[in-house]
Amino acid sequence: MPEPSRRDVLRTVGVGLAAGTASVGGVSADGGWHAVASPTDSDLADVTHTASGAYAVGGGGVVLARRGSGTDGRAEWHALTTTGPDGNGSNLHACAPTADGARVWVAGASGALAEFDVETNAVTSHRAPDDVTNQFTSVVVAGSGDDATVFVADSSGHVHVSAGTERDESGGRTWTHATPGSGAAIRALARGDGGRVVAVDANGDVFERGSDGSWARIGIEDADSSLYDATVVGGQARVAGGKLYLESGDAWDVTDPTERTLYDVAMGACGCIHAVGAGGTILHRPGHDLPGGVTVARWLGLWEETHPVEADLRGVALGDPHVAVGASGTIVEA
């Protein structure tokens, strides 16, 4: 009988943890995460890093910006707007930076779509592109400046794409529109460094965009419908929901490290994975660059679960610092 691979061992131990047969992967400490002062009590839906600091968006059109890096005690969050980029109060559900971090795009209800210049805070509204007023659920951006390509998903199962290099006669952006699946809400888009774009819908399906702009289903067989987010790193997709799924060739590896629903997932350059979800859940699995003196759980590559707050956490962004946001204006950092 061949010896099991490290992946086999970790998968087996991970299942044991989920079933409550082991406890080494769970820690009671806060993992370095702590709540910070927030200028809003509106629910926050997403967070991202830019060249000038972190941005978060949420209910009523609130857009928050953090000035200062790391754990600098002088760094604080402030509201750029509490009524949306164009002042109509539409909820915002997603945000994403351009490649150079000089701009951040935000998207939300009633076709809300805009970009902020992170240096000047100047706002350019792109509300209702091609008269689409659906609820936008996710946004990703490729490239920078006016030439950036923008991908926007909505709750009616569509993905809208605008290449900044293609303009109409008046100089405005042009858009193409596609329906990757059956029309179920697209809950998340993700784009990897290599340009690969994937979408996750409310039916538990994952789609990949081809070079010709068409979409093909790539999974997930037997997945439940509780898929909420995706990330693409090193060409591989990872999907979060009721469980965590890792693309492995034509199949998907699945792990179930927590009983809580997970709403967002992010992966760092070291291979570490963070996921956030219900009840203030923050999951962390270390990557390849393990420092000395780490815990047994880290050495084994097991998941660590912490709950620095009780509020549901909806978005996480890795950087300096790591930031997670959620219900009632909750912001936690590490």
pLDDT tens digits, 292-326: 555 555 555 689 999 999 999 999 999 999 999 99
Q: Is residue 326 part of a domain?
A: yes
Q: How would you label 206-239 residue by residue, b for 16+ Cβ within 10 Å and e otherwise?
A: bbbbeeeeebeeebbeebeeebbbbbbbeeebbb
**Token pair of 53 as six digits:** 């600091």
Range of the domain at 240: 6-333
**Token pair of 266 as six digits:** 């992010």
Q: Is residue 267 part of a domain?
A: yes
The answer to whether the CB of 320 falls within 8 A of the CB of 28 is: no
pLDDT in tens, 74-96: 789 999 999 999 999 999 999 99
Question: Domain tally for the chain?
Answer: 1
Q: Is residue 1 part of a domain?
A: no
Spatial distance between the Cα atoms of 294 and 287, rounded to a whole number of angstroms = 12
Tracing tokens 């990897």 back to the chain, one arrives at 192
**243: CATH:** 2.130.10.10
Question: DSSP per residue over 208-251, as a string?
Answer: EE-TTS-EEEEE-TT--S-EEEEEEETTEEEEEESSEEEEETTE
pLDDT by 10s per residue, the chain, length 334: 333 333 333 333 333 333 332 323 333 356 799 999 999 999 999 999 999 999 999 999 999 999 877 766 678 999 999 999 999 999 999 999 999 999 999 999 999 999 999 999 999 999 999 999 999 999 999 999 999 999 999 999 999 999 999 999 999 999 999 999 999 999 999 999 889 999 999 999 999 999 999 999 999 998 876 899 999 998 899 999 989 999 998 899 999 999 999 999 999 877 889 999 999 999 999 876 555 555 555 555 689 999 999 999 999 999 999 999 999 999 999 9
Q: Is residue 178 part of a domain?
A: yes
- Single out the residue of 205, 91, 92 nearest to residue 139, CA to CA: 92
Q: Is residue 40 part of a domain?
A: yes
